[in-house]
Amino acid sequence: MKKKNGAVTITMDNQTYQVAPGITILEAAQQNNIEIPTLCAHKDLTPYGGCRMCIVEVEGMRNLPTACTTPISDGMIIRTNTAQVQSVRMEILQLFLSEHTSSCLICEDKDRCREYMGTIRKVGVTTGCRYCSNDGQCELQDVVEKMEVKEIKYPIYYRNLRVEKEDPFYERNYNLCVLCGRCVRMCQEVRVAHVLAFNHRGRETVIGPAYGRTHIEAGCEFCGACVSVCPTGSLTEKARAYEGKPDREELTTCSFCGVGCQMRLLVKGDRIIGSLPADDAPVNGGQLCVKGRFCITELVSGPKRLLRPYRYFDGTEAEVTREAAIATAAEKLSDCAPDEFGMLVSPNCTNEDLYVAQKFARAVMNSHNVDTSARSYYGRGFNAYLDLMRKAAPLSAVREASVILCVGLDTRFGRSVVGVELRRAVRRGARIITINPREHNLTLIAEDWIQTIPGQKTEALHKLVELTGKGASGARKGPRGVSKELVHAAETLAKAESAVILVGSEFLQYDSSAEILESVRQLAQNTGAGVLPLPAQNNLYGSLMMGAYPELIPGGHAAASTKAYGALKKAWGLKGKTVSGGFNAASLGSGKKLKVLYLVGENCPVPAGEAADFIIYQNIYPPGERFHADLVLPAAAFTESDGTFINGEGRVQRVRRAVEPPGDALPDWQILCLIARKMGVEGFDFANVESIHREMAGLVDGFKSFKKPARKPQAYRSTVALDVPAGKLPPAGQVNQKYPFMLSASITEHSHRGFSLSDWVEGTKPLFAEERLSISPADARKARISDGDEVIVTSRGFERVWPARIRPEQAEGTLHVTLYQAQAVNPNPHPVKMRKKNV
């Protein structure tokens, strides 16, 4: 045999192999298809050597080394399957099993039972015992099977630990735990979240957070990475318990934020039963956040999904057929003048949906009146935000940067895959600076935490710009009114070899957001740092490139440009004039009332009666209590349609249909096309998403191939400015005796198609805690408010009631609330007083 460069020769089970040096015996065996049973080893984790299932014989070594931790060496002679090895393994396995309540593992009737599981009865049940939620997917089960265990010879020792069900999304039954430590290693090494640890010792050892706290209290991100690696049923996803193995998987892109994680949807029959990270995608590197990991199943298969179209009049809802619904929509729209029409389309839709939606407005309705909810989300700072997108660095910049500045970023639940990268960066020696009014999940790893105080010290960024600007070096030693942290942070940034600035959601709804984002831009300029804007909307970039705004047309060109729009009209074969009605999402309800408002995956941000005479609402869930739509059309979720998204770095990524839409639901583009065709307009007979994509490709750069989308990040290039509210706002004022608290508000970053994920995914309610007033413990004590009490918050011309949420991280004298979209506090932040209701 010819020796490969640097390869070493080993003998395993009487065969010689050439393997790369430095690998473990286990890896060498796996590469050569030799099976060694394992429990604690995992490809993504460092070897641990805890379970001892993988012991082998190595000539010249005393005892039996564990294959997963022992590196090979040249000439090593290994036996993986001798009688001695087998009997020791069996002994170890027996010890495991004596602590593992699992009658199924050794049941005599196991084989026959499987065969006859499905019986003919009048009810759809299977016979046979199902004691473990993980049955059929348990690695311990596999090992037992392979080693042909027939009986458990030791007395059963049941630890009788309480099954922990109090946290959302997964439950923990440590009676089934084999203490392999995979979850601990995952949480500590890979996620670097440090929620799980081995507690106590010996027989008492249990896994969990400090003081037996719940995972919510302990700072868990609910990323589910621990659940994924657990070989047994001790960690079980609640929604997937007892589901068994999925039939197939479909690769897709997450639609809950601009990171755009690649994921595998697990499909069983015609249902989505779960989602797992795709291995090694450059965007998310095998990780997800709570939204991608746990929210999809519940969101897309919720019992309240819209299945049939209905009309609403005289206070009742009446189901109609799809044909009738399309006909009604066509009739109402034919009757509507261009400036009486308005459309809001969700920046969560695919590019293809967005493209068809804006084409519908322009080509069918002859109107530029199309907009997205991103306008109200970014408000006054939208243009400044676009400026940052024009400078956007790729996500990989975090992996290389030596200094990382986080502005209003909290990665516990949103974008937590970026948080993972940040913590890894710290390990390799990068320095983190975080600017945030509250203690949050990055303060522990940050070298400096610059605490802003809403309404008082939000100019921290401005100071940083000054301190890093030209000619600032002289003044650096503590100018007046500048904190130590700021000076230190400025120095760190100025000296950084490579810096990046990550922008989170905290300050985006402040009245001064435009100035804050402008400071970020200047700071980046002063220090040569890259910027990662990390949009909360998964396809914000796409919505801009597709022209889903009155000011923008496909390709990101200006709608007002005669040349660009002329070319588009030519491509579409349009003749008439396209009217611009001064419409946008922020001004809805304030100007002239519309005749028809068409909501494509959006909610009505103002009372329906003020917005339009007739509202067409197309979404995956009904509008619920918020408002009544006159015509409701069921749409397909992102798991039920094909298309592409563009993530925050400008990568075009595929979305794939994993299951069929339920009931009468159709993808947004298809419904739009049906209505357009019913109205007799040409140019809407797309056979599939690919044909839309082909039409788009002629108009938008970077959309060449549908099958293989552009994988390279690409900063936003359009230079068109959007029409955002300008002018001076009335000053918010300072806290005083009458109004002693500064209240800041943000719009939830966890929204999807016009509602918050917590509207439809129960488990996220305690995590996202929207519509709850965060109060510092000291302030709560003084005002005699306890957790959950209703609190009345008043200022000049403003009164709201929210339940209290007492948070140690909230600074004294400040209050914070996260709201659903379009109910923001105005001005923001501003001084208020509060009192407990009913006292």
Cβ–Cβ < 8 Å for 304, 760:
yes
Residue 199 contacts which entry, ligand FES, ligand SF4, other proteins, none (Cβ below 5-8 A, type-dependent): other proteins
Q: Taking the complex as a whole, how short is the minimal distance between the CB of residue 412 and other proteins, in angstroms? A: 13
Residue 68 contacts which entry, ligand FES, other proteins, ligand SF4, none (Cβ below 5-8 A, type-dependent): ligand FES
Taking the C-alpha atoms of residue 641 and residue 653, their distance in angstroms, rounded to an integer, is 14
Residue 38 contacts which entry, ligand SF4, other proteins, ligand FES, none (Cβ below 5-8 A, type-dependent): ligand FES
Residue 50 contacts which entry, ligand FES, ligand SF4, other proteins, none (Cβ below 5-8 A, type-dependent): ligand FES
Report the SS3 class of residue 146: helix
Report the SS3 class of residue 834: strand
441 in contact with ligand SF4 (CB under 6 A):
no
Site string for ligand SF4, 263-292 (x = CB under 6 A): ---------------------x---xx-xx
Q: Taking the complex as a whole, how short is the minimal distance between the CB of residue 197 and other proteins, in angstroms? A: 3
Taking the C-alpha atoms of residue 56 and residue 811, their distance in angstroms, rounded to an integer, is 57
Pairing label, strands 755-756, 798-806? unpaired
Residue 198 contacts which entry, ligand FES, ligand SF4, other proteins, none (Cβ below 5-8 A, type-dependent): other proteins
194/322 with CB nearer other proteins: 194
463 in contact with ligand SF4 (CB under 6 A):
no
Q: What number of helices (H) and strands (E) belong to the chain? A: 26, 35
Stretch that binds ligand SF4, among 69-77, 216-224, 501-509, 701-709 (CB under 6 A): 216-224
Binding site for other proteins (CB under 8 A): 188, 193-201, 209-211, 218-219, 444-445
235 in contact with ligand SF4 (CB under 6 A):
yes
**Phi, psi at 705, each rounded to 5°:** -115, 130
Name 771's Cβ contacts closer than 8 Å, sequence gap at least 6.
802, 803, 817, 818, 819, 820
Cβ–Cβ < 8 Å for 309, 657:
no
Choose among 479, 519, 533, 551: nearest CA to 718. 551
213/717 with CB nearer ligand SF4: 213
223 in contact with ligand SF4 (CB under 6 A):
yes
Cβ–Cβ < 8 Å for 534, 259:
yes
Residue nearest to ligand SF4 (CB): 292
| Strands laid side by side in the 262-268 sheet | 248-253, 262-268, 271-277
Cis peptide before 803 (omega within 30 of 0): no
Taking the C-alpha atoms of residue 585 and residue 822, their distance in angstroms, rounded to an integer, is 10
Stretch that binds ligand FES, among 52-60, 229-237, 567-575, 624-632 (CB under 6 A): 52-60
Cis peptide before 766 (omega within 30 of 0): no
25 in contact with ligand FES (CB under 6 A):
no
415 in contact with ligand SF4 (CB under 6 A):
yes
Choose among 706, 633, 640: nearest CA to 667. 640
229 in contact with ligand FES (CB under 6 A):
no
311/488 with CB nearer other proteins: 488
Q: Taking the complex as a whole, how short is the minimal distance between the CB of residue 150 and ligand FES, in angstroms? A: 23
Cβ–Cβ < 8 Å for 284, 649:
no
Answer for which of 34, 45, 52, 385 binds ligand FES (CB under 6 A) is 52
**Phi, psi at 500, each rounded to 5°:** -135, 155
Q: Give just the sign of the alpha carbon dihedral 803, 804, 805, 811.
A: positive
| Strands laid side by side in the 370-371 sheet | 316-319, 310-313, 631-634, 612-619, 594-600, 341-345, 370-371
Residue 222 contacts which entry, ligand SF4, other proteins, ligand FES, none (Cβ below 5-8 A, type-dependent): ligand SF4
513-527 helix and 460-468 helix, angle to the nearest 10 degrees: 20
Residue 51 contacts which entry, ligand SF4, ligand FES, other proteins, none (Cβ below 5-8 A, type-dependent): ligand FES
Answer for which of 9, 49, 192, 697 binds ligand FES (CB under 6 A) is 49
Residue 417 contacts which entry, other proteins, ligand FES, ligand SF4, none (Cβ below 5-8 A, type-dependent): ligand SF4
150/211 with CB nearer ligand SF4: 211
51 in contact with ligand FES (CB under 6 A):
yes
Q: Which residues bind ligand FES (CB under 6 A)?
A: 38-41, 49-54, 66, 68
Q: Which residues bind ligand SF4 (CB under 6 A)?
A: 177-183, 186-187, 191, 193, 195-196, 207, 215, 220-226, 229-232, 234-235, 254, 256-257, 259-261, 284, 288-289, 291-292, 415, 417
